[in-house]
Amino acid sequence: MAAIADTAAPAESAVAYFEGEATAPEWLEKAAGQVEAFVAASDEVLTVVVTSGGTMVPLERRTVRFVDNFSTGTRGSRSAEAFLAAGYRVVFLHRAGSKRPYLSQMSMEALFDADGPGALVETGDGSLLVPNESPVVACVRARRAAKASGMLLEIPFVTVEDYLWLLRRVAQCVESLGARAMMYLAAAVSDYYVPTAAMPEHKIQSSAEALVLELEPVPKMLGALHAEWAPAALVVSFKLETDAALVEAKARRAIAKYGVNLVVANRLDNRNELVHVVHADASRPVVDVSPGAPGEPIEIQLVQTLKAEHEAFVRNS
Amino acid sequence: MAAIADTAAPAESAVAYFEGEATAPEWLEKAAGQVEAFVAASDEVLTVVVTSGGTMVPLERRTVRFVDNFSTGTRGSRSAEAFLAAGYRVVFLHRAGSKRPYLSQMSMEALFDADGPGALVETGDGSLLVPNESPVVACVRARRAAKASGMLLEIPFVTVEDYLWLLRRVAQCVESLGARAMMYLAAAVSDYYVPTAAMPEHKIQSSAEALVLELEPVPKMLGALHAEWAPAALVVSFKLETDAALVEAKARRAIAKYGVNLVVANRLDNRNELVHVVHADASRPVVDVSPGAPGEPIEIQLVQTLKAEHEAFVRNS
């Protein structure tokens, strides 16, 4: 059902995309102002920009149908929690509605249900109580502390074009931090999209026949990110594969092609048990990372591994 | 970017789909057992099956990419609340992760934030409080009451094929209720899909060229629902259009083609201010429904209108 057309244009570079017809989202400069204020307050602390969740590819201007990438934002939100615990300041760029730091471990349903470990308890005077043994309490306090101390800034995006504009602008904002900034690109970014100019205004009408969609490659951001927008930052990208045989080879290819510093490679089916950290220096062995203890999120060990790399990167820069 | 192929097969009927190669989801009979028990306890009360949220169309067997339909589930979850308030028993078939009755009005973020109308309050003894003036309290109690009294049964689905199997099976389960069952089809069901047999096993590999996707029409359920699976039930379907000129004409076409009893027609841009209820009897004028009071969800008036139709339908059957 899927075919690569042999007549299509090659992938546009991100630089060409921004010089072309695309226009910035209205909210971009407001978000950039928030990041600039965040960066200005950063002192000598390490800062990470975490991207998280999937990007949406609208098929119509008034969006009814869209193509999406599977991502709940679990990797990104848990990583943000681990970075905060490791002392980082975190800019969390996330798909609107995907998981967010400390909000992801509990569901509204668990609170609302009449029983269960997180359930709200009737007090008898009309209010409801989260008992101090509930796991919700620690999450609420951790989230409030991260917000109140200014260690966490969250900015949402929806479409892949929103994401492209936001990533570039935020990279430019953190460039003043030099090597102390890490770009941690955990978002599941669409590979193909329909440029706004090529979209129909209204809902595509249904018919009794097949629907043929032709999508263009999304402009490649990684090369421009490293080469132009944040050349001093440590860039960590992700490679998700379902095919075990391709995981490391794809990571090496991304390093060779885009000049990223580290690639976190994993398979879809065991991504919470095993990830591979591949270094740009091919003489460095691949580091396999697993959870530090049964039930502990793998992101805690992953962030420890990356923090050690980041500290060495800062010393060597 | 979208084209209707002129060589493709016509839309398969739902009957042919179920007689073909498709296989039922593993969890289907467990869900059917829940619905059967629910129906067995229903006495003379009116019952509605509400479908809600969008359906996912996987493009790969191990799903990374998918096509999706925009739907938060707001219409369906608010309608379910309105049906419960109007005395209905509700089977709520919803896209996993979309909005659900009484859970949809508050967000975890509002609870977790340090201030704001829904914020959890520190008690000083280690626990957290939802104060009795919070809007959360009424939602928690309404949800618990609906669950405890057995008036609400929720069953999730994800893919469009899950949805097809679930809708057919649930329709068969409520058929014993005769005219006292309403099928209220608010879910945003995909028009096109990739049959499981046509899917690649692994993630589609990216390339520098365009991606061409060919999707087949989703088997049409409405005709079989009315004609075969639940012929005695009142069937209410929805027509969402972005183009104002097409709204009523599309509703009339659905009635003529599939034999549904009522169509709720609306536009995407004002769907919370105005909907049109179109009756199968073309001599009956279209009923325009708006919110009963400023700020009141339109679904309260819509459900009142449909309940009156349903009561007449029961009397006449």
Instruction: Delimit the domains of chain A by residue range.
Output: 14-316
Rounded to the nearest angstrom, the gap between the alpha carbon of residue A9 and the centroid of all alpha carbons in its chain is 28
Which residues, in sequence order, are CB contacts of A312 under 8 Å at separation 6+?
Answer: none
Q: Do A66 and B67 touch (CB under 8 A)?
A: yes
The Cα–Cα gap between B37 and B196 comes to 31
Fold category of A14-316 in CATH: Rossmann fold (3.40.50)
Residues of B in contact with A114 (CB under 8 A): 144, 147-148
Total residue length of chain B: 317
In degrees, rounded to 5, the angle at the alpha carbon of residue B250 between the alpha carbons of residues B244 and B251 is 105
Which residues, in sequence order, are CB contacts of A35 under 8 Å at separation 6+?
Answer: A91, A153, A155, A169, A170, A173, A174
List the one residue out of B189, B178, B279 whose CA is nearest residue B230.
B178
Query: B103 pLDDT exceeds 90?
Result: no
The Cα–Cα gap between B173 and B156 comes to 17
Count the helix, strand and coil residues of chain B and give each as a percent rounded to the nearest 5: 35, 25, 40
Share of chain A above pLDDT 90, in %: 53
What phi-psi label fits residue B234: left (phi over 0), alpha (psi between -120 and 50 degrees) or beta? beta
Contact predicate A81/A102, CB 8 Å: yes
Of chain B residues 172-191, which have a CB less than 8 A from chain A?
Answer: 188, 190-191
Residue B5 has a pLDDT of 42
Contact predicate A11/B208, CB 8 Å: yes
From the CA of A39, how many Å to the nearest CA of chain B? 23
Q: Is the dihedral of CA B22, B26, B28, B29 positive or negative?
A: positive
Q: Which is more confidently placed, B108 or A105?
A: B108
Helix axes A160-174, A28-40, angle to 10 degrees: 30
Strand ranges inside chain A, DSSP E = 2-4, 47-52, 56-58, 65-69, 89-95, 121-122, 128-130, 152-157, 181-185, 192-193, 211-217, 234-241, 262-267, 275-279, 287-289
From the CA of A220, how many Å to the nearest CA of chain B? 10
**Residue A4: band (very low, low, confident or very high) from pLDDT cuts 50, 70, 90:** very low
Residue A206 has a pLDDT of 55
Rounded to the nearest angstrom, the gap between the alpha carbon of residue A253 and the centroid of all alpha carbons in its chain is 20
Task: Give per-residue pLDDT as tens, A56-100.
Answer: 998 877 666 788 877 889 999 999 999 999 999 999 999 998 999
Residues of B in contact with A207 (CB under 8 A): 4, 217
Q: Which of A256-265, B44-53, B242-251 has the lowest mean pLDDT?
A: B242-251
Contact predicate A48/A233, CB 8 Å: no
Query: Alpha helices of A28-101 — where are they, by DSSP H?
Result: 28-40, 74-85
Q: Which is more confidently placed, A255 or A244?
A: A255
Q: What is the CA radius of gyration of chain B?
A: 21
Strand, coil or helix: B263: strand
Least CA distance to A69: which residue of chain B?
B65
Residue A60 has a pLDDT of 75
What mean pLDDT is predicted for residues A148-155? 96
Of chain B residues 265-294, which have a CB less than 8 A from chain A?
Answer: 268-269
Total residue length of chain A: 317
Residue A214: how many other CB atoms lie within 10 Å:
16
How confident is the prediction for chain B on average, in pLDDT?
A: 87
Contact predicate B164/B14, CB 8 Å: yes
Structure tokens at A265: 């490679």
Contact predicate A250/A239, CB 8 Å: yes
Is A61 near chain B, with CB under 8 Å?
no
Check: CATH 3.40.50.2300 for B27-316? no
* A62, A192, A216: best to mutate for the B interface, most B CBs within 10 A: A192
Query: B250 pLDDT exceeds 50?
Result: yes
How confident is the prediction for chain A on average, in pLDDT?
A: 87
Residue type, A188: A
What are the phi and psi torsion angles at B273 (to 5°)? Answer: -110, -30
Residue A203 has a pLDDT of 57
